[in-house]
Amino acid sequence: MSEQNKAANKATAPETILTGIKPTDHVHVGNYLGAIRPGLELVSQFRHSLLFIADYHALTTVQDPKELRDYTLSLAAAWIACGLDPKQTIIYRQSDVPEIFELAWVLSCVTPKGLLNRAHAYKAKLQENEAEGREDLDYGVSMGLFSYPVLMAADILLFNTDVVPVGEDQVQHVEIARDIAQKFNRIFGELIRLPKALVKTEKVVPGLDGRKMSKSYGNHIPLFLESKALRKLVMKIKTDSTPPEAPKNTKDSILFDLYKEFAAPAEIEALTARYANGVGWGEVKELLFQAIDRHFSESSRRYHELMGRPAEIEAILRDGAARARKLATPFMVNVRAAVRGGDRDTIAAHGARGKS
Ligand code: ADP
Ligand code: TRP
């Protein structure tokens, strides 16, 4: 490979990872194992990482300002308590970065309406209205819900993001962002880098009743519970009526599935042996409770400490927003110049990196 090619390769290696999370509730063990822990592991592989609280996306459903603020601070505190380093990862609140909303408008002007008609969330709403026999299929659809994917495209494209880690349900949104970026580049010149979704092969964490742990099923274990409340919830995990002395299978055991996420390898081995020889569910629950309680003891202390000082969380988010805006400013100078004429920012550090 020529030196030139090597240099080009290095320049095209993914370097910016960005993801957003909606502050619609407090986080639970499923969010931790499915999103927070794997997200933190990814961060170190990238030169730039950005994580933001998508509060204006949440506004499509959370319309109580106190609740929105509470969830926003709680989500930021949870990530930091679990190990996110705000010096390494730029963490910010979406609504603190006005460039996102300016870009969203520009992008909406090159977005065919038909592209949004095909977005899953909007289609699901239409189908729901149809199933309920409503004449107005757009019943309950706000412009926020309809243009949600354009705002998400702006979130991503503003920072020349290479990689967007998301769950399966969000892949379509990242593809829409790519389509919009391509459309923009065709009209106004190659300015916007094309992002790629990174789907975490997500194992589904079971909840108290064995279904996927989810707030909407009410079967979740919230993070950072006091030990007593945590113990009480763990004791509620569904088990069958096999007697203690009967050998048990570690497969299809909610207790074991959860235990192996939090226990050390030797402990997992020991419990596997106990299952084979017969063990009482009460005893397994006690072990699971202890493993979860121990795993979160430090982060829980840190979370509650932070939540007791909301001004500190606000300051971290503000600092993150200032850093994010520093990246966004030269980019928006170029977007404005591209769409309305005028000078570009020639010293802008970021730029499109071709059609990856
Ligand atoms: P909920 O289903 O409780 O409303 P969200 O949809 O807000 O959770 O999920 C936020 C993040 O947590 C997503 O990345 C999602 O994939 C992950 N997540 C949520 N529940 C689970 C689970 N039971 N197992 C694995 N990951 C989960
Ligand atoms: N739509 C995402 C969700 O519901 C949240 C989100 C908003 C997002 N903007 C983003 C995720 C940008 C990744 C990148 O989970």
CATH of the domain at 230: 1.10.240.10
Ligand 2 center to 153 CA (angstroms): 9
Q: What is the pLDDT of residues 98-136, one digit of tens each?
A: 999 999 999 999 999 999 999 999 999 999 999 999 999
Say what the pLDDT of residue 23 is.
Answer: 96
Choosing from 6, 66, 196, 212, which is the catalytic residue?
212
Say what the pLDDT of residue 356 is.
Answer: 40
Percent of the chain at pLDDT exceeding 90: 87
Say what the pLDDT of residue 13 is.
Answer: 52
**295, 320, 342 — which closes off a domain?**
295
- In this structure, are 265 and 116 located in the same domain? no
Predicted confidence (pLDDT) at residue 1 exceeds the cutoff of 70: no
Q: Which atom of ligand 2 is nearest to the CA of 22?
A: 5
Question: CA-to-CA distance for 61 and 68, rounded, in angstroms?
Answer: 10
Taking CA atoms only, the protein residue closest to ligand 1 atom 1 is: 214
Long-range pairs for 180-184 at CB < 8 Å and ≥24 separation?
A: 180/107, 180/110, 180/111, 180/115, 180/150, 180/153, 181/153, 181/157, 182/355, 183/110, 183/111, 183/112, 184/106, 184/107, 184/110
Q: Is 344 in the pocket of ligand 1 (CB under 6 A)?
A: no
Q: Is 167 in the pocket of ligand 1 (CB under 6 A)?
A: yes
What ranges in the chain are assigned the alpha helix state H? 3-12, 29-31, 37-43, 55-58, 65-81, 98-108, 113-117, 120-131, 143-146, 148-157, 171-188, 227-234, 254-262, 265-277, 281-307, 310-340
- Residue 54's SS3 state is coil
**Cα dist. 154→40, 72, 148, 226, 238 in Å?**
23, 20, 10, 39, 43
- Residue 19's SS3 state is strand
- In this structure, are 201 and 263 located in the same domain? no
CATH of the domain at 130: 3.40.50.620
Q: How many structural domains compose the chain?
A: 2
Say what the pLDDT of residue 202 is.
Answer: 66
> Is 106 contained in some domain?
yes
Ligand 1 center to 70 CA (angstroms): 19
Q: Is 338 in the pocket of ligand 1 (CB under 6 A)?
A: no
Rounded mean pLDDT, 14-43: 93
- In this structure, are 257 and 142 located in the same domain? no
Q: Which atom of ligand 1 is nearest to the CA of 220?
A: 3
Question: CA-to-CA distance for 191 and 106, rounded, in angstroms?
Answer: 13
> Is 198 contained in some domain?
yes
- Residue ranges making up the domain that contains 37: 3-205
Pairing of strands 196-199, 163-166: parallel
**Which pLDDT band, with edges at 50, 70 and 90, does 349 fall under?**
very low
Q: Is residue 212 annotated as part of the catalytic site, yes or no?
A: yes
Rounded mean pLDDT, 305-318: 98
Question: CA-to-CA distance for 157 and 155, rounded, in angstroms?
Answer: 6
Other C-beta atoms within 10 Å of 100: how many?
26
- In this structure, are 282 and 137 located in the same domain? no
Please tell me the number of the ligand nearest to residue 152's CA.
2
Name the one residue in this structure whose structure tokens are 């709403």. Answer: 125
Rounded mean pLDDT, 217-221: 96
Q: Which atom of ligand 1 is nearest to the CA of 215?
A: 3
Predicted confidence (pLDDT) at residue 325 exceeds the cutoff of 60: yes
**Which pLDDT band, with edges at 50, 70 and 90, does 347 fall under?**
low
Please tell me the number of the ligand nearest to residue 18's CA.
2
- In this structure, are 119 and 230 located in the same domain? no
Q: Is residue 125 annotated as part of the catalytic site, yes or no?
A: yes
pTM for the full model?
0.91
**Cα dist. 3→9, 11, 332, 356 in Å?**
10, 12, 33, 20
- In this structure, are 137 and 14 located in the same domain? yes
| Residue 79 and residue 20 in contact, taking contact as beta carbons nearer than 8 Å | no
Say what the pLDDT of residue 331 is.
Answer: 96
**Which range, of 128-137, 194-203, 208-217, averages the lowest pLDDT?**
194-203
> Is 9 contained in some domain?
yes
